[in-house]
Amino acid sequence: MENAEYLGDGPVLFSEESAGRFRVGFITLDNPSSLNALDLRMLYAIEQKLLEWRARDDIACLVLNATSEKAFCAGGDVKSLVNELKKEDNSAYGREYFAAEYFVDYFIHVYPKPILCWADGITMGGGIGIMNGASHRVVTERTVLAMPEIAIGFFADVGATYFFSRLPQRLGLFLGLTGARFDGFDAVAIRMADAWVRSEKKKSVFAELLRLDWAGDSRRDREILSRYLASLADANASPNSSLLKRLQEIETFMDKVSMDEIDEVLRKWEGKDAWMRSALQGYFAGSPTSAKAIFEEFKRGKNLPLKEAFLREWDMAVHFCDRSDFREGIRALLVDKDRRPLWNPPTLAQVRDEEIERFFLPPSAEPHLLRHKIDETGIG
């Protein structure tokens, strides 16, 4: 593709292709060795290109994708993030990183032009963050999704306060508490994706995008792209969702007034469903502090507008960087890889209410970096 450029250690490829009177802009993640984990430089590069293409009348549509067949994006580069946080307790880096990540996520949600996200392969955490806000989200037979933050002592972020709260029958709370994996069929069924398309069609789909009769009008161009994807989508995607079949049981687990009650019912489960057993093991192995924070996140954020949800998540992320199980979770899973995190405290009963309350307070009198970025760029 023409006009391509690579960026440093965490490459993102940007290109433009002619589409008749207009052009289609491609943002391609190209760091397969890290499963396209998003570092700060990658986020800033994507931000700048989004701003540039927003202002250009000749750009009709954007495409998010990756060169790897294994992963679209496995999440944020949290290993590098924690390494920075350890440098003289550099909490400023965490503030900057999450302001950059959440800005890109939010910008994609409110972008004035259609964005097609081709989420092929592993799409987790921060990968869902950049996928979920796209106006048109495609998944494939290789797509594997999850929000596994509880496993690293963090919380379900990148806008999950908003989009998980809107899933049926408290499914979002379950996915946040367990980090359970689900596939492309499930994503379409619960409306976290718009079309299931076989991965082998990627090249032809992208080529056809350049032949669509783009109008240069956001509303009309979204409709054009929707009609095209509808012609490609596998009609059997939604009925094949195994997640939908478990919704009633999941709601029974989650329909409780406290995290302690949920914990009690999960620990009493004695079923034979292998997927459910794996999901619950994700919860049992996760941080008790994260579990209570996630429960409160969705309880308090159920009716938050999108922007306010992101702003609150930035507050939470800053507190998690300053004091939580986050660093220990990264050590156990990504650094030493012993998979034996020493959560503090180690049990749900020992997590103090005031410790959870702290996550929902403004972190300091310093400027709210995310709010500042949103206001400064005028994205609404």
Q: Does 93 reside within a domain?
A: yes
In a domain, 6, yes or no: no
Residue 231 counted as domain residue: yes
Whether residue 274 lies inside any domain: the answer is yes
The pTM of this model reads 0.95
Phi, then psi, of 350 in degrees rounded to 5: -90, -5
Contact 116, 209 (CB under 8 A): yes
Q: Are strands 22-29 and 59-66 parallel, antiparallel or unpaired?
A: parallel
Contacts of 210 (CB under 8 A, 6+ apart): 17, 18, 19, 20, 24
Is residue 315 included in any domain, yes or no? yes
Cα–Cα distances in Å, from 317 out to 29, 83, 97, 99?
24, 16, 10, 9
Structural domain boundaries, residue 204: 12-377
| The pLDDT of residue 216 | 96
Total domains in the chain come to 1
275 lies in a domain? Answer: yes
Which domain CATH number covers 158?
A: 3.90.226.10
pLDDT of 366:
78
- CA-to-CA distance for 121 and 140, rounded, in angstroms? 8
- The answer to whether position 7 is within a domain reads no
Q: How far is the C-alpha of 40 from the C-alpha of 311, rounded, in Å? A: 19
Print pLDDT tens along the chain (380 aa).
Answer: 444 444 444 489 999 999 999 999 999 999 999 999 999 999 999 999 999 999 999 999 999 999 999 999 999 999 999 999 988 666 889 999 999 999 999 999 999 999 999 999 999 999 999 999 999 999 999 999 999 999 999 999 999 999 999 999 999 999 999 999 999 999 999 999 999 999 999 999 999 999 999 999 999 999 999 999 999 876 655 567 889 999 999 999 999 999 999 999 999 999 999 999 999 999 999 999 999 999 999 999 999 999 999 999 999 999 999 999 999 999 999 999 999 999 999 999 999 999 999 999 998 867 899 999 999 999 98
Q: Which single residue is written with the structure tokens 């009177």? A: 21
∠ CA 230-235-240, rounded to 5°: 135
Residue 5 lies in a domain: no
Tell me whether the omega of the peptide bond preceding residue 148 falls within 30 degrees of 0, making it cis: no
